[in-house]
Amino acid sequence: MTSGPLAGIRILEVGTMLAGPYATMTLADLGAEVIKIEPAAGEISRQVSDAYFASLNRGKRSVCLDLTSPDGREQLEELATDAHALLVNLKPSAIHRLGLTYENLRRINERIVCVAITGFGLYGGDDPAFDYVIQAATGVAALTGDPQGPPTLPGYSSADNSTGLTAALGLVSQIVSGRGGQIDVSLRDVMFSQLNYHASAFLNGGTVPVRRPFGAHSYYVPAQIFGTADGYLALFITHDRFWQVFATEAGVEGFTRMAERAERRDEVLAAVGQALSADTADNWEKRLRPLGVPAAAVRTLPEALELNPDVIVESGGFRTIRCPINVSDHVPDYRPAPSLGEMQR
């Protein structure tokens, strides 16, 4: 077993709640040394619960600094002299006021990479920008939910998580370049980027995306959730080979071409729905997966974790979800989340 691919990389984090801490925890899982800089009272997510904090901060170290004081800023600059990167997620005004930018820190470390995670950009103002607000503002919420009901949101923080991973990618990319610099990642930009094909369809053809029942895909048919004799099944059929195999197993005739299935969406969905009602979701999954057809029964998180115990790891007495990046010859050292200010002891 070798050390992680980011061994020897030191990253400072001034992060709160989710996006920033998730970014740096992923980097810590890959071998980076992450030093979490917290106020005396601790980063606010410590107040949520110990399990919540552990899920986003394992493998880090903690130091308490008052960045509003000259002494605290001086200590941060000392840490920054030999750090490869500083990742911050605060309001833009606070980032500038506290000097947590490349423009300020380059005088002490020209090769440091400074990453700012904000709602609307490092120069985009301080408007409130929490995950759910961004999903509403960028069109994500309007695309989610039953078309006959109100817009809704995913059951997890998709904007924060996606932005954290994007920021981590930007940080590593700039380190690889060998140059210091400022990386500016906003929740707004990330969520617009994730609406890629929807945005392209509108910008280039005027096609306005709409909510469809059961989360149906805009292009592929059938690709959505279906009711069965017991439970719900997610079925995602794209090309004609998938359809041929599914139709043979389910006893559905016709609709052999992708374009035809899109044009006759309602007829296809009616035929597929009737066929799937003859068996349970679990049984359909067992029947279709061996045939190579993308299908899965809709499960609760507890049910999914029971079936996938390999994704669970233990760190400091807390069971958390392992790093999703699997590197050959590297097993992450899932160390505990840091106690507050442990580096000062």
Catalytic residue list: 160
> CA torsion angle for 240, 241, 246, 249 (degrees, to 10)?
130
Burial class for 119, CB neighbours closer than 10 Å (0-12, 13-18, 19+): buried
| CA separation for the pair 156, 142 (Å, rounded) | 16
